[in-house]
């Protein structure tokens, strides 16, 4: 058994190297690669993913995993969880024929390129055949994985163990029932502050300095976390040693980058604080996309858009920013960055209307995967729902159905994570407030105890625990979306004096 | 045989994917990776280089290569040259035991990290043990490859087929005899222009725009070539589809980035214009470092520091640059960027003294590899030679022996390429002037015919031809360093009115 565990760990080390290389290739293609390099990158992806397929499904690995799993009591808990994790990956991968697995990687790469062009040129038709391919692959793969369940439920389960349309339908219908009236009340009330200071020219060099300051407040170790610049911010990590956040700077929208940095910084804090004992292990990453989003959105909205935080950080912003910011009060700044207004772009949406952007995507991808909505009809359906729920007219597909990259990467079932994560965060806050003087700490800019609390209950476990186990650990109760609804109702009643 | 060739090409495609991944990992580590990621990167390098070793030396590949080489007449020229190339790589790699090959990759990575820190902290002692390791590996590997020759000759041969100390000793002694008197005459004469306008504040944003303009003049297709920002500029390519140049911007030294862009742009032009028929082949890169440097230094110095080019580009610089540049004449600008002055830093050295920086490194690494100079005595030897040949006192190792990254990457035998390349370029110019109205074209900013001429005679061949064959193609004669000596003597006599 000792020898088996040694061989197993060696196999994991090799898989980790390929994942690392794949991750860097992908990061590079988003941040540095000239677009003309994409064909060659596709060829390289094909070769490496073939090798990864082989490693994930190799008979030697299978034998090792089976041996470990049939003698669970003889190995430590980490090894046991690694074997379980690998067994699942193996089962999932094996069910896809290798040619399809490789073809899918290539299709993904092509779709991503087509989407980039389609978005710039507002040409959904260019992207449509690629999207259709990815939808078909996803439906097919879902069938391979578990033909007894609805394909979309199978996909949801890959992002969040145990998640289903049943859970999400209830969740979103609660949000519709409780929050749509708030959205409407806010619209009726109209602006409560002149927020034009948010659109004054703020030089990119100074915004970069503000990013550095925010990273410092977030307690992020720059020796293990860089900031890249891209069109669509994201975070990636190759291990807790090397985490990359990204942002985008616009001279006349400094708050956009500011909140990107805090959001991505939240993802980074999760990865940077995973336990050292699993740092190069397949368990050494966030437990699920929802748990991840619970962190990014916790720092971005619950902390980052709170009045104590804004009171603390405003002097730094005023020192770097344009003259127009000099006379702004912390309270006005708080009102401005919490301005709620139904709008077109998810990533720029306020906290209150945000979940409806997600809900629309959820409803649409549910139908795409079920086959009840054809790809060619997607833009019209999108525009209809934006009108129905948010009351906005979508002027073109660039600002509509083409705005997000997720579908171009074949991610169907991912979007709900954003809304779920926000809700998890609100529930965590409740328990944290019991243990820590959260708002006193935030007012002093001292986030260390908060990060430590989350590390203790969530971060350090990586994938050792499942999402629902982590929620239980952190919240001492199962998930309950009412905390989120209450949080938003209270906050926006306060901001808008409802 | 048809089947063998198909299998051979498939094997090459796999090797190319690994090279591609390796290249991107390396580029990323220089441009984006937080330093804390280096340990994990080392682990990944180890896994991938083991796989590359296996692929390069696999019995299947060996059988295919042997079959192709014993039926050369049945295959096309490219396949034949690929087989020859692979046979050489295989022989070279196989002679190194796999554990040593992998250990060397890891040592290289560690040395590179140590050098970064040592340079910043001016701590040669920190770097010394790593350098010693790399020197020992290089000497040992040279012995594996050809124990009948002096180790340094074996290393030189890996950078430039057929190059030897005999050739280089003659070359550098010609330069010493012919050019040292010019250097001394220039020192005696003193400054011929007030070049303080070169150190006026030039905003980074505007310098980035100047880079874009230079890339355009160089006829570089940005869809296949990006500009990254690093401390030590370099160029890398993963195929002709994806070439990356890098530069560094200093607000008060715009000419430094300007010439980095032109220099690296020369490397890029070579790679971007390699024949499509070999673009993903192991032959699809520059033929040797010297030929590469002949191009980078041709554009940087022969074109980029010529009066016609400067007359053409100055208005663009004036449009973007500081007020102090507005009244500068093209002739004064020409005199300023050709100011010759013995100095400390190779990459910032002028064209005339440059070769002596290289010569010093050549003499030192020759001794390091021969074992007649101990690593611990290197800084003193360095400082002594800088005093002897360039008359300058080296104030610290950061500005002395630690300035270049090459040795920290295990590159011994690389430096001479810079001087040789410069000399090749001067010889090419002579023939080009016969075929093209070179200076009329440059005066109009029309570099297309020049790039086309070089593509026809050099670029398109990639590694299909050997360096000496390329020199013969381009210059219609074997290498003759007198062209270089004459070129420099004429130019600097003109600049300094000697």
Reduced to 3 states (helix: H, G, I; strand: E, B; else coil), residue A245 is strand
pLDDT band of B343, cuts 50, 70, 90: very high
Is A116 touching B (CB cutoff 8 A)?
no
pLDDT band of B348, cuts 50, 70, 90: confident
Task: State how far the Cα of B286 lies from the Cα of B417, in Å rounded to an integer.
Answer: 13
The residues with which A225 forms a beta bridge, in sequence order, are A243
| Å between A250 CA and nearest CA of chain B | 14
Is B54 touching A (CB cutoff 8 A)?
no
Query: What residues of chain B lie within 8 A of the CB of A223, using their CB?
Result: 34-36
pLDDT band of A231, cuts 50, 70, 90: confident
Contact call for residues A258 and A291 (beta carbons, < 8 A): no
pLDDT band of B222, cuts 50, 70, 90: very high
Q: For chain B, how big is the Rg over CA atoms in Å? A: 23
With CA atoms as reference, the chain B residue closest to A20 would be B44
Burial class (CB in 10 A: 0-12, 13-18, 19+), A432: buried
* The pLDDT of residue A232 is above 90: no
Of A28, A39, A226, the CB nearest to B34: A226
Give the sign of the dihedral formed by CA B57, CA B58, CA B62, CA B65. negative
φ, ψ at B490 (rounded to 5°): -65, -50
Contact call for residues B256 and B250 (beta carbons, < 8 A): yes
Q: State both tokens at B386.
A: 């800088």
Give me the residue label for tokens 């079920």: A370
Reduced to 3 states (helix: H, G, I; strand: E, B; else coil), residue A66 is helix
Query: What residues of chain A lie within 8 A of the CB of B32, using their CB?
Result: 27-28, 31-32, 226, 228, 244
Give the sign of the dihedral formed by CA A352, CA A355, CA A361, CA A367. negative
Question: Nearest 5°: CA angle at B316, between B260 and B434?
Answer: 70
Cβ-Cβ pairs closer than 8 A, A with B, add up to 122
Q: State both tokens at A67.
A: 């041996």
State how beta strands B225-229 and B242-247 pair.
parallel
Is B120 touching A (CB cutoff 8 A)?
no
DSSP label at A36?
G
Task: State how far the Cα of A247 lies from the Cα of B15, in Å rounded to an integer.
Answer: 34
- Is the confidence metric ipTM above 0.90 for this complex? no
What average pLDDT does chain A have?
95
| pLDDT given at position B231 | 80
For chain B, counts of helices (H) and of strands (E): 20, 3
With CA atoms as reference, the chain A residue closest to B17 would be A44
Count Cβ neighbours within 10 Å for each residue of B363-376 and write b for 16 or more, e otherwise. bbbbbbbeeebebe
The residues of B annotated as belonging to the active site are 264
Task: State how far the Cα of A66 lies from the Cα of A375, in Å rounded to an integer.
Answer: 42
Contact A40 B25 (CB under 8 A): no
Determine the average pLDDT of the residues in A38-62: 92
| pLDDT given at position B10 | 95
Determine the average pLDDT of the residues in B256-279: 97
pLDDT band of A217, cuts 50, 70, 90: very high
| pLDDT given at position A106 | 87
| pLDDT given at position A188 | 95
φ, ψ at B244 (rounded to 5°): -125, 120
Residue A247 belongs to what H/E stretch?
strand A242-247
Reduced to 3 states (helix: H, G, I; strand: E, B; else coil), residue B198 is helix
Of B199, B204, B235, B216, nearest to B23 (Cα)?
A: B235
What average pLDDT does chain B have?
95
The residues with which B226 forms a beta bridge, in sequence order, are B244
pLDDT, tens digit, for every residue of A282-293?
999 999 999 999
Reduced to 3 states (helix: H, G, I; strand: E, B; else coil), residue B436 is coil
Residue A308 belongs to what H/E stretch?
helix A307-320
C-alpha to C-alpha distances, A253 to A30, A195, A249, nearest whole angstrom: 22, 11, 8
Q: For chain A, how big is the Rg over CA atoms in Å? A: 23
Is A284 touching B (CB cutoff 8 A)?
no
pLDDT band of B101, cuts 50, 70, 90: confident
Query: What residues of chain B lie within 8 A of the CB of A226, using their CB?
Result: 32-34
Greater pLDDT, B82 or A93:
B82
* The pLDDT of residue A93 is above 90: no
Contact A47 B280 (CB under 8 A): no
| pLDDT given at position B14 | 95
Q: State both tokens at B411.
A: 């590159």
Task: State how far the Cα of A241 lies from the Cα of A273, in Å rounded to an integer.
Answer: 10
Question: Nearest 5°: CA angle at B451, between B437 and B216?
Answer: 105
Task: State how far the Cα of A310 lies from the Cα of A317, in Å rounded to an integer.
Answer: 10
Task: Single out the catalytic residue among A264, A271, A351, A365.
Answer: A264
pLDDT band of A266, cuts 50, 70, 90: very high
Share of chain A above pLDDT 90, in %: 92
Note the Cα A317 to chain centre separation in Å: 27
Contact call for residues B294 and B470 (beta carbons, < 8 A): no
Is B99 touching A (CB cutoff 8 A)?
no
Give the sign of the dihedral formed by CA B112, CA A264, CA A239, CA B55. negative
Helix then strand then coil, in percent of chain B rounded to 5, is 70, 5, 25
Residues sharing a CB contact under 8 Å with residue A85, sequence separation 6 or more, in sequence order: A282, A283, A463
Determine the average pLDDT of the residues in B456-468: 96
Burial class (CB in 10 A: 0-12, 13-18, 19+), B460: middle
Task: State how far the Cα of B207 lies from the Cα of B325, in Å rounded to an integer.
Answer: 14
Give me the residue label for tokens 């985008």: A248
φ, ψ at A244 (rounded to 5°): -125, 120
Residues sharing a CB contact under 8 Å with residue A395, sequence separation 6 or more, in sequence order: A344
Specify the pTM: 0.87
* The pLDDT of residue B303 is above 90: yes
Give me the residue label for tokens 């003109």: B494
| pLDDT given at position A315 | 97
Question: Nearest 5°: CA angle at A362, between A357 and A363?
Answer: 100
Q: State both tokens at B255.
A: 């000419």
pLDDT, tens digit, for every residue of A119-135?
999 999 999 999 999 99
pLDDT band of B106, cuts 50, 70, 90: confident
Count Cβ neighbours within 10 Å for each residue of A192-222 and write b for 16 or more, e otherwise. bbebebbeeebeeebbeebbebbbebbbbee
pLDDT, tens digit, for every residue of A322-362?
999 999 999 999 999 999 999 999 988 999 999 999 999 99
Q: State both tokens at B200.
A: 């006026």
pLDDT, tens digit, for every residue of A185-206?
999 999 999 999 999 999 999 9
Please state, as a whole number, how many other Cβ atoms lie within 10 Å of the Cβ of residue B231.
Answer: 12
Give me the residue label for tokens 């874009």: B212
pLDDT, tens digit, for every residue of B372-423?
999 999 999 999 999 999 999 999 999 999 999 999 999 999 999 999 999 9
Strands, sheet with B225-229, edge to edge from the N-terminal-most edge strand = B225-229, B242-247, B235-239
Burial class (CB in 10 A: 0-12, 13-18, 19+), A13: middle
φ, ψ at B247 (rounded to 5°): -145, 175
Query: What residues of chain A lie within 8 A of the CB of B205, using their CB?
Result: 204
Of B43, B226, B244, the CB nearest to A13: B43
pLDDT, tens digit, for every residue of B27-76?
999 899 998 998 899 999 999 988 998 999 999 999 999 999 999 999 99
């Amino acid at each position: 058994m000792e020898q088996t565990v040694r061989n197993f760990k060696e196999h994991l080390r090799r898989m980790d190297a390929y994942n690392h290389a794949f991750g860097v290739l992908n990061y590079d293609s988003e941040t540095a690669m000239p677009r003309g390099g994409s064909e060659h990158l596709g060829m390289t992806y094909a070769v490496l993913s073939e090798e990864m397929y082989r490693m994930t499904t190799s008979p030697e690995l299978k034998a090792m995993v089976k041996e470990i799993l049939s003698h669970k009591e003889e190995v430590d808990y980490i090894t046991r969880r690694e074997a379980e994790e690998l067994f699942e990956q193996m089962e999932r991968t094996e069910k896809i024929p290798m040619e399809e697995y490789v073809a899918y990687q290539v299709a993904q790469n092509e779709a991503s390129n087509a989407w980039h062009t389609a978005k710039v040129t507002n040409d959904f038709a260019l992207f449509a055949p690629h999207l259709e391919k990815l939808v078909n692959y996803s439906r097919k793969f879902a069938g391979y994985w578990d033909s007894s369940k609805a394909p979309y439920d199978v996909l949801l389960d890959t992002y969040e163990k145990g998640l289903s349309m049943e859970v999400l339908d209830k969740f979103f219908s609660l949000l519709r029932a409780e929050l749509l009236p708030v959205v409407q009340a806010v619209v009726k009330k109209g602006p409560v502050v002149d927020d034009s200071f948010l659109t004054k020219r703020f030089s990119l060099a100074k915004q970069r300095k503000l990013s550095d300051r925010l990273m410092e407040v977030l307690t992020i170790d720059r020796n293990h976390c860089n900031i890249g610049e891209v069109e669509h911010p994201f975070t990636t990590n190759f291990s807790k040693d090397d985490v990359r956040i990204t942002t985008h700077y616009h001279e006349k929208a400094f708050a956009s980058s500011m909140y990107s940095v805090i959001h991505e910084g939240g993802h980074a804090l999760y990865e940077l604080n995973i336990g050292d004992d699993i740092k190069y292990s397949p368990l050494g990453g966030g437990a699920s996309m929802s748990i991840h989003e619970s962190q990014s959105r916790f720092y971005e909205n619950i902390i980052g858009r709170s009045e104590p935080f804004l009171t603390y950080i405003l002097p730094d912003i005023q020192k770097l920013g344009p003259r127009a910011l000099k006379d702004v009060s912390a309270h006005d700044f708080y009102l401005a960055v919490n301005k709620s207004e139904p709008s077109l772009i998810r990533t720029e949406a306020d906290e209150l209307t945000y979940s409806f952007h997600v809900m629309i995507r959820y409803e649409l991808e549910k139908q795409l995967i079920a086959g009840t909505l054809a790809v060619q009809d997607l833009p019209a359906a999108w525009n209809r729902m934006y009108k129905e729920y948010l009351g906005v007219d979508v002027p073109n597909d660039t600002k509509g159905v083409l705005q997000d990259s997720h579908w171009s990467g074949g991610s169907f079932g991912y979007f709900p994570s954003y809304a779920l994560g926000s809700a998890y965060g609100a529930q965590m806050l409740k328990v944290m407030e019991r243990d820590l003087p959260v708002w006193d700490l935030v007012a002093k800019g001292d986030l260390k105890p908060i990060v430590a609390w989350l590390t203790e209950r969530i971060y350090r476990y990586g994938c050792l625990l499942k999402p629902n186990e982590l929620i239980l650990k952190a919240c001492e109760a199962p998930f309950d979306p009412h905390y989120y609804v209450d949080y938003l109702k209270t906050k926006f009643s306060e901001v808008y004096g409802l």
